[in-house]
Amino acid sequence: MKVARQPNLEPMPEDTEAKIFRAAEEEFVARGYKGARMQHIADQAGINKSLLHYYYRSKEKLFRAVFSKTAEKVFPKIPKMWGWDVPLIERMERFVDGYIDILLKNPMLPSFVMHELQQNPGQLVSMFGDLLSFPFQKVKEEILRSMESGEIRKTDPEHLLANVVGLCVFPFVARPMLEKVTGMSKEEFDQFLIDRKQHVKEFIHRALAP
Amino acid sequence: MKVARQPNLEPMPEDTEAKIFRAAEEEFVARGYKGARMQHIADQAGINKSLLHYYYRSKEKLFRAVFSKTAEKVFPKIPKMWGWDVPLIERMERFVDGYIDILLKNPMLPSFVMHELQQNPGQLVSMFGDLLSFPFQKVKEEILRSMESGEIRKTDPEHLLANVVGLCVFPFVARPMLEKVTGMSKEEFDQFLIDRKQHVKEFIHRALAP
DNA sequence: GTCTATATAGGGATAGAC
DNA sequence: GTCTATCCCTATATAGAC
């Protein structure tokens, strides 16, 4: 008689599929779709190239699997960070906090998204455009209301969106040049990115205060 | 007896080398180094692939030629835009104006630079890091002075640099996603980018006003 | 200088043994 | 499931005729 499989209390040694997945994640994020090499992924996973095709039929399918998971993990957090129960400026501050926290945990993600956005805009936009555009419409309405009530200055909501996201994302994408220009070391720049949460919040706060 | 060559009053028909160069410029900026195809460049220039190698020995050399020129045309303008004879906030406004003007004329350039910066940071940084870091030091000193004199609020100069450049550059890089999320058409987004000069200037002005 | 033809290399994908 | 061997396409680069 078969014994029922025990639930995974101890972490199992990573199975092949998971190893491939994790290796692919690194490779794609680091080098983009075109730059990624199936051979590198196989090497990193410690297996043969053919096995990649056994588990995921093609590079394209592997990419979709990896990126769907990564993005589904990250993107849905974005609208949720927007707390709905406090004044608008405080909500934006929470958003900045949560957003930069995600970026600190996934520092290569912005460059990756920017790159794929240029090389293959349709794919990303079709996957996540709708997911993000509905929350934006809700936020936009609130911004307009807060402007009416005098809580914040009159500002174009589309520009405000670009400002907030851009202020958070840009240092991650432009890191090598910023390091050189400012003369910061790796460690100093890491600290700079952590400090950035506070700075961006204050910067936006001042710009929006009536 | 040979007659001296007339100066080029009339534009000469573009010679092969120039045609190749211009075609390569488009291809590399649009698709990045890895994505670029020698065949596309040859087609666009209306010549054979082999001629590319006759004029420029390899893809790598062609890339360096093209990008050195493009970047040498654009980067040195950046420190020059900083007028030295007016109050600090006005200088920053001039900088934003001039910088966004450059981007409007080269809308694909930011994505290209971001991408190469990630794939091959050393190359770009070594070419232009020094060129930009000296002006930054001068600007930083002035920012600190203006903070002392109370002309602007106390702000960290490194963060301020990231803010100003990021606010200008980000919409160009994230364009496809921003179009989708905001629901803007191509034409509306073009106008958005033009309006952005004014918006960014005001945003920075408010954030820095004492 | 410009072309055709071809060499060479790299990478994704498949066949088939075990 | 995992490996070895190989196919096949694409892309850079070169040889050589004109």
Q: Which chain B residues are closer than 8 Å to A136 by Cβ? A: 181-182
CATH number of the domain bearing residue A25: 1.10.10.60
Distance separating alpha carbons of residues A125 and A81, to the nearest angstrom: 21
Distance separating alpha carbons of residues B186 and A149, to the nearest angstrom: 32
Q: Is A57 within 7 A of strand C by CB distance?
A: yes
Query: According to the model, what pLDDT value does residue A175 have?
Result: 94
Closest CA–CA distance from residue A10 to any residue of chain B (Å):
38
Q: What is the pLDDT of residues B133-168, one digit of tens each?
A: 998 999 999 999 999 999 999 999 999 999 999 999
Q: Which chain A residues are closer than 8 Å to B107 by Cβ? A: none
Are B82 and B147 contained in the same domain? yes
Q: Which two tokens stand for residue B40?
A: 């596309």
Are B38 and B18 contained in the same domain? yes
Are A124 and A61 contained in the same domain? no
Query: According to the model, what pLDDT value does residue A4 have?
Result: 45
Nearest to A34, CA basis, from B56, B44, B33? B33
B34, B129, B173 member nearest A177 (Cβ): B129
Q: Is A39 within 7 A of strand D by CB distance?
A: no
Q: What is the pLDDT of residues B113-139, one digit of tens each?
A: 888 888 877 777 887 888 889 989 999
B44 in any annotated domain: yes
Distance separating alpha carbons of residues A79 and A13, to the nearest angstrom: 35
Share of chain B above pLDDT 70, in %: 94
Residue with nearest Cα to nucleotide D15 C1':
B50
Nearest to B48, CA basis, from B70, B79, B16? B16
Q: Which long-range contacts (CB under 8 A, 24 or more apart) does A64-71 make?
A: A65/A21, A65/A24, A66/A21, A66/A24, A66/A25, A66/A28, A67/A28, A67/A116, A68/A127, A69/A21, A70/A25, A70/A29, A70/A106, A70/A109, A71/A124, A71/A127, A71/A128
Q: Is A34 within 7 A of strand C by CB distance?
A: no
Distance separating alpha carbons of residues A170 and A199, to the nearest angstrom: 14
Closest CA–CA distance from residue B96 to any residue of chain A (Å):
14
Query: According to the model, what pLDDT value does residue A12 have?
Result: 58
CATH number of the domain bearing residue B101: 1.10.357.10
A195 in any annotated domain: yes
Running along chain A, 210 residues long, what does each successive block of 10 average in pLDDT?
Answer: 46 83 95 93 97 97 91 82 84 94 92 84 79 90 94 95 97 94 97 98 95
Confidence of residue B3 (pLDDT cuts 50, 70, 90): very low
Q: Is B36 within 7 A of strand D by CB distance?
A: yes
Last residue of a domain, one of B67, B86, B112: B67
Q: What is the pLDDT of residues B21-78, one digit of tens each?
A: 999 999 999 988 888 999 999 999 999 999 999 999 999 999 999 988 888 888 888 8
Q: Can you give the residue range of the structural domain that contains B161?
A: 75-208
Are B33 and B61 contained in the same domain? yes
pTM for the full predicted model: 0.89
Distance separating alpha carbons of residues B94 and B178, to the nearest angstrom: 26
Are B144 and B43 contained in the same domain? no
Q: Is A16 within 7 A of strand D by CB distance?
A: yes
Query: According to the model, what pLDDT value does residue A77 have?
Result: 86
Q: Is B47 within 7 A of strand D by CB distance?
A: no
Distance separating alpha carbons of residues A9 and B184, to the nearest angstrom: 50
How many Å apart are A42 CA and C18 C1'? 21
Distance separating alpha carbons of residues A158 and B178, to the nearest angstrom: 9
Are A99 and A55 contained in the same domain? no
Query: According to the model, what pLDDT value does residue A13 have?
Result: 62
Contact A159 B203 (CB under 8 A): yes
Q: How many domains does chain A have?
A: 2
Interface test with B, best of A28, A193, A194, A203 (most B CBs within 10 A): A203
Burial grade of B73 (CB within 10 A; 0-12, 13-18, 19 or more): exposed
Question: Is B194 part of the contact surface with chain A (CB cutoff 8 Å)?
Answer: no
A3 in any annotated domain: no
Query: According to the model, what pLDDT value does residue A11 have?
Result: 56
**Mean local confidence (pLDDT), B83-105:** 90
Contact B133 A183 (CB under 8 A): yes
A7 in any annotated domain: no
Q: Which chain B residues are closer than 8 Å to A34 by Cβ? A: 34-35
DSSP 8-state secondary structure symbol assigned to residue A210: -
B158 in any annotated domain: yes
Count CB-CB contacts under 10 A for residue B134: 11
Question: Is B193 part of the contact surface with chain A (CB cutoff 8 Å)?
Answer: no
A8 in any annotated domain: no
DSSP 8-state secondary structure symbol assigned to residue A202: H
Question: Is A96 part of the contact surface with chain B (CB cutoff 8 Å)?
Answer: no
Residue with nearest Cα to nucleotide D10 C1':
B37
Q: Which residues make Cβ contacts (< 8 Å) with residue A154, sequence separation at least 6?
A: A147
Q: Which chain B residues are closer than 8 Å to A119 by Cβ? A: 31-32, 35
A139 in any annotated domain: yes
Q: Is A47 within 7 A of strand D by CB distance?
A: yes
Q: Which residues make Cβ contacts (< 8 Å) with residue B166, sequence separation at least 6?
A: A166, A167, A169, A170, A171, A174
How many Å apart are A16 CA and C15 C1'? 22
Q: Which two tokens stand for residue B155?
A: 């702000």
Distance separating alpha carbons of residues A31 and A122, to the nearest angstrom: 19
Are A119 and A95 contained in the same domain? yes
Q: What is the pLDDT of residues A129-168, one digit of tens each?
A: 888 888 899 999 999 999 999 999 999 999 999 999 999 9
Are B105 and B204 contained in the same domain? yes
Are B56 and B81 contained in the same domain? no
Are B188 and B117 contained in the same domain? yes
Are B112 and B61 contained in the same domain? no
Are B170 and B120 contained in the same domain? yes
Output the DSSP codes for B85-123. Answer: SS-HHHHHHHHHHHHHHHHHHSTTHHHHHHHHHHH-HHH
- Strand D nucleotides where any atom sits below 7 Å of a protein CB: 1-5, 11-16
CA dihedral over B89, B95, B101, B107, signed as positive or negative:
negative
Output the DSSP codes for B11-56. Answer: PPPPPHHHHHHHHHHHHHHHHHHHH--HHHHHHHHTS-HHHHHHHS
Query: According to the model, what pLDDT value does residue B124 have?
Result: 78
